[in-house]
Structure 1
Amino acid sequence: MFNPASWSDGETIYMLYRAEDSTGIGIWNGESVVGLATSRDGLNFERHPEPIYRAVEEWELPGGAEDPRIAKIDDTFWLTYTAYDGETARQALASSKDLFEWERHGLIFPQLGWTKAGAIVPKQINGKYWMYFGDTNIWIAHSEDLINWTPIEEPVMRPREGMFDSGLIEPGPTPLITEHGILMLYNSADDNLVYRTGQALFDINDPAKLLKRSDDFFLEPDTELEVDGQIPNVVFIEGLSKLGDTWYLYFGMGDSGIGVATWTP
């Protein structure tokens, strides 16, 4: 289990994590499903006994449903995940009122090839919804109904030569709406595929406009599981939730476990 998304109602944190079996070791690792765990303190979780979401279509098997991200807009949860058929990874979409019964909406960008990491901004801006996505550059797409998405051709962020994010970048958890703009925590790798995390701020009135970007990372692999896991040298953030006065940032550890970092203002 690794690479978890999260959402909080203020009293409980709901973690949607990627669980992987061993059916495809040496080929695609194994089929991935989405599991659910809950916590009242952000640290100790109780797992639901069965997956809450699993792949059923040809275009998402045998690899399954990978790397979920979750956003709640009004009374609906919107799940983006990587559908992996063993060869091509593509973003897919589902929605739910309760995290258990899901309506499947298929591929988000059927006209595109390889696409990953869809992070939906949880607020309508200028009459549209917005999603950051991509795992080399970061692109943006917009939608009027959260189901049909139109990507903008030009990336909104690119890797930076000679820096911690020189190799690739991709969105992390659901972006936050702040008084300064749209805050996106993102994943990145350098030229040696060491994964670290950064921050970017976008204009609240123009979500495609990058305002600021961190010069340094704030999280890097340093534990045994992160350095020597199934995929070495990886910390991979996908879940950010607030409980009380504390923010909990959940991340995958080398594709082999789940870690958490906390911040209390």
Structure 2
Amino acid sequence: MHTMFSGATFPLGPFVPYEGNPILRPRGGSWESANLYNPAALVDGDEVILLYRAHADDIVSHVGLARSRDGLHFEREEEPILSPSEDYELFGVEDPRIALIDGTYYLTYTGWDRRSAQLCLATSTDLRTWTKHGPLFEDFDTFATVDPRGFNWSKAGVIVPVRMHGKWWMYFGEGAIYWATSDDLVHWTPGTPDTEPMYSPTPGSFDEDLVEIGTSPVLTDNGLLLMLTNGATRTVNPDGTVDVDYRCGQVVIDPDDPTTVLARMQVPWLAPQTFEDLNGLVSNVTFVEGLVKFKGTWFAYYGQSDTTLAVAVHDPAQPWGASLRD
């Protein structure tokens, strides 16, 4: 049985932030000396692997790798596994998400050139030697219906690791959420123009300003679950600065009609609450990108204010309403 078939249900949770957070911090005078956050996650045998974003004071992001045997305590490698090398990513390879399909790792990430953020793809069979396939979408702005950029802008792609209706599917987007399909997992075609998202912010709610894809999908007993990284509230101050509040939501998609969102959580399942969540390079941010089920427990890995890395844990033996069952 494929790992995405979990026996879970929507909504997934509740998740409790680990009391030992943050589990990874910046260190030393190295490439990861200033900020470390926003990890992809996957299970490899008896270990959890994190592919995390980090940078020094230059704010040029690289992707590093860390391993854990309990999902909580990680040992990281000294050098990054992915670094900027092309013009479209010269100032950062950012915010990875990962899928393992037939022995190949498919890593989506944001390439940043200090003007345009573009969703990019790299592939590997060993997590160390990567083939970069470049930006995935041309003339596409995932903010087109929210706050138009007017040029290429796309982030946050998660690949469904099994075919649906004869094709490979990806859900992507920052601002609003879209879908794309592929025959070979490398070349992707959006299903609609950028003016027709499949899911948009909800007025008057915690995600009224923007929504963004978070973690890899989970096929639950009642739909294809996607965690959202935020549902952000943006406040523009009189001096022009912007305050943000990034919280985490969930939506569930109909696998029989993969372009249809069936339901959304009405409240966030994770919100800024600790010192690290509330203070950092970009304050008031809980930004989830990694989700695994490991040894019977769910681990959701998230960035705290673009500065440190944390985990929230869900024990299936403690479902919603557990206090009523005592």
TM range (shorter): over 0.9
Match of 1:232 in 2: 283
Distance in 2 of aligned mates of 1:119 and 1:175: 7
How far residue 228 of structure 1 moved from its aligned partner, in angstroms, is: 1.4
Q: Which amino acid aligns with 1:115?
A: S
Matching residue within 64, 78, 85 for 1:49: 78
Q: Does residue 184 in structure 1 map to residue 226 in structure 2?
A: yes
Higher relative contact order (CA 8 A, sep 6+): 2
Distance in 1 of aligned mates of 2:162 and 2:257: 13
How far residue 64 of structure 1 moved from its aligned partner, in angstroms, is: 1.4
The residue correspondences of 1:80-159 to structure 2 (distance < 5 A) are 80-112=108-140, 113-153=152-192, 154-159=196-201
Distance in 1 of aligned mates of 2:93 and 2:185: 19
Matching residue within 56, 70, 73 for 1:21: 56
Q: Which amino acid aligns with 1:42?
A: G
Q: Which amino acid aligns with 1:31?
A: V
How far residue 10 of structure 1 moved from its aligned partner, in angstroms, is: 4.4
Higher alpha-carbon deviation: 211-220 or 174-183: 174-183
**Percentage identity across aligned positions?**
45
Q: Does residue 165 in structure 1 map to residue 187 in structure 2?
A: no
Give the 4+ runs in structure 1 shifted more than 6 A.
Answer: none
Distance in 2 of aligned mates of 1:232 and 1:199: 22
3-state DSSP class of the match of 2:281?
Answer: coil
Structure 1 residues 156-208: Cα deviation after superposition (integer angstroms, max 9, x where no partner): 11001110000100010111122322100102202432111111110112211
Give the number of aligned pairs: 258
How far residue 49 of structure 1 moved from its aligned partner, in angstroms, is: 0.8
3-state DSSP class of the match of 1:163?
Answer: coil
Match of 2:15 in 1: none
Match of 2:256 in 1: 205
Q: Does residue 73 in structure 1 map to residue 96 in structure 2?
A: no
Normalising by structure 1, what TM-score?
0.95
5+ residue gaps, structure 2: 1-35, 141-151, 236-243, 317-326
Structure 1 residues 26-62: Cα deviation after superposition (integer angstroms, max 9, x where no partner): xxxx11000000000000000011100111001111x
Structure 1 residues 101-143: Cα deviation after superposition (integer angstroms, max 9, x where no partner): 1111111113330101111111110111111111111111111
Match of 2:38 in 1: 3
5+ residue gaps, structure 1: 24-29
1:166·1:191 contact (CA, 8 Å) conserved in 2? no
Normalising by structure 2, what TM-score?
0.77
3-state DSSP class of the match of 2:88?
Answer: helix
